[in-house]
Amino acid sequence: MTRREVGARFLAELRKSVPVEAGFWVKPVGGDWLLYVAFDRPLDDVHDAYREVGRVADELRDPDFDSSEVRLIGSDDRLAKEVREFRRRRPGRTLLELSGWTFGGDVPDEAYLYPDPPAPPAEPPPPAPDRATSSSRARRRPA
């Protein structure tokens, strides 16, 4: 399984328990790939969030994925704001353009942004109430 595939599986599972706005891999020049996960709100309790990351990573049981590759950021983080702006300007694009960005002082060599997750299916509207009850229908039948 490729890095992108396992990352997509990880994000799909993580989204079941925490509100994820975006996920993106970044590879600094001369560094290792890191998966940034942006929450859709400020990150208040980072310890609980990382525990959930560890739980989901353990459940994946993928030898090519390690929770130590994950970096969490809140919606108020500069990178999260940049990703929102990137998506606004270039909807559907997945190769991030990272000119001027640094990650821990390192300039990124490559980056990949996961597409927005599909919207959950809309719930069908409830059926229209049947105003005629079976007893009223019986009364309306011709004799």
SS (H, E, C) the chain: CCHHHHHHHHHHHHCCCCCEEEEEEEEECCCCCEEEEEECCCCCCHHHHHHHHHHHHHHHCCCCCCHHHEEEECCCCHHHHHHHHHHHHCCCCCECCCCCCCECCECEEEEEECCCCCCCCCCCCCCCCCCCCHHHHHHHCCC
Domain membership of residue 45 (yes or no) is yes
Domain membership of residue 47 (yes or no) is yes
Amino acid symbol at 93: R
For the whole model, what pTM was predicted?
0.74
Nearest to 25 by CA among 39, 40, 6: 6
Domain membership of residue 87 (yes or no) is yes
Domain membership of residue 143 (yes or no) is no
Domain that residue 113 falls in? 3-118
Residue 92 CA to its chain's centroid (Å) = 14
* pLDDT above 90 as % of the chain: 26
Domain membership of residue 124 (yes or no) is no
Nearest to 30 by CA among 100, 111, 112, 107: 107
pLDDT in tens, 6-61: 999 999 999 998 889 899 998 877 888 899 999 887 767 788 889 999 999 999 99
Which range, of 82-86, 87-91, 94-98, 100-104, averages the lowest pLDDT? 100-104
Q: Is residue 78 scored above 70 in pLDDT?
A: yes
Number of independent structural domains in the chain: 1
Domain membership of residue 135 (yes or no) is no
Domain membership of residue 100 (yes or no) is yes
Domain membership of residue 9 (yes or no) is yes
